[in-house]
Amino acid sequence: MHEPQANWKQAYREQGFTLVPGLLPAAAFLPLYSDIDAAVERHAQDLLQEGKVADTCARESYDRRLAKLYAGRDMGVRMWDQALRPSTLLDFASQPALGGVLAELLGPETCFSGDYHLRPKLPESSLTTFPWHQDSQYYGPLTRHMEIVTAWVPLVDVDEANGCLWVIPGSQRWGLLDGARGSDQNIRTFENVEQRGRAVPVPMKRGDVLFFGNLTFHASKLNRTDRVRWSLDLRYYERAEARLRDALEAEAYAYFAGKLRAAGREAVSVRQPALS
């Protein structure tokens, strides 16, 4: 198990993100794969019924099957959240391995906000490229007064070829920059942020987790391989109502809680590692 490390917090504070290698064991992923396999099987049967494919590609592995079914066409979705059963998601999101790191970054009473996305990034799918953005541009400007951490979890090894995440170290100190949604629903920042900071790719192995904040600029590019880049992103914040710094933070908390309620998301406490 990973012992709490001061450098997670230091990297997060200085760079706006921290990468924890080997945080999650292979077994933690099995329920996710089982749900994904079942959802892809249902989807393949639907495509067959609708006459859109002649073969359900049943023998293909989870990182190839959707790519084979779509054979170069875009699947037309930016996320595929419904593939995960609620119990699978909650077990995964609240596991102590994540809780240990989040306690260092956010505080002892971290909760999973209920907001998440499962993303099958298909080969050459432009719909699943994400231009440079800060997550507070999506959540709403008030949320810049609070800290929301994303745990970005690759379900396959990722690198520049299959569309790993890119980040701009230190960009969390720039404040919230303006942007607007394009017709593909993705927010585009008006400024060319690659001229303001140095963008770096974050290659990761399955089991590694990248934690970044709601003001940290990040992006992902085209998947240029023939396999599916599966990933899961989960959002966390600290249940800190009793310790809020100022009125703006309190307003941000109330706003975010309302937004989650309206979306039917329920915040769930994250378990902490057992003391040895």
Site for ligand AKG contains 218 (CB under 6 A): yes
Site for ligand AKG contains 162 (CB under 6 A): no
Site for ligand AKG contains 231 (CB under 6 A): yes
Three-class SS state of 98: helix
Residue 165 vs 270, nearer CB to ligand AKG = 165
Structure tokens, 45: 């049967």
Give the shortest CB-219-to-ligand AKG separation in angstroms. 7
Site for ligand AKG contains 135 (CB under 6 A): yes
Give the shortest CB-200-to-ligand AKG separation in angstroms. 15
Give the shortest CB-235-to-ligand AKG separation in angstroms. 8
Residue 44 vs 139, nearer CB to ligand AKG = 139
Q: From CA 48, how far away is CA 82, in angstroms rounded? A: 20
72: DSSP letter: T
H or E element in which residue 152 lies: strand 149-154
Residue whose C-beta lies closest to ligand AKG:
220
* Residue 211, Cβ density class (10 Å: 0-12 exposed, 13-18 middle, ≥19 buried): buried
Residue 172 vs 220, nearer CB to ligand AKG = 220
Among 119, 144, 145, 227, binds ligand AKG (CB under 6 A): 119
H or E element in which residue 166 lies: strand 165-167
Among 113, 162, 171, 220, binds ligand AKG (CB under 6 A): 220
H or E element in which residue 241 lies: none
Among 233, 252, 256, 260, binds ligand AKG (CB under 6 A): 233
Q: Which amino acid is at 56?
A: T
Residue 94 vs 134, nearer CB to ligand AKG = 134
The neighbouring-strand residues paired with 232 are 118, 153
Among 152, 166, 237, 253, binds ligand AKG (CB under 6 A): 152
Three-class SS state of 216: coil
Three-class SS state of 236: strand
The neighbouring-strand residues paired with 229 are 121
Binding site for ligand AKG (CB under 6 A): 119, 121, 130, 135, 150, 152, 218, 220, 231, 233
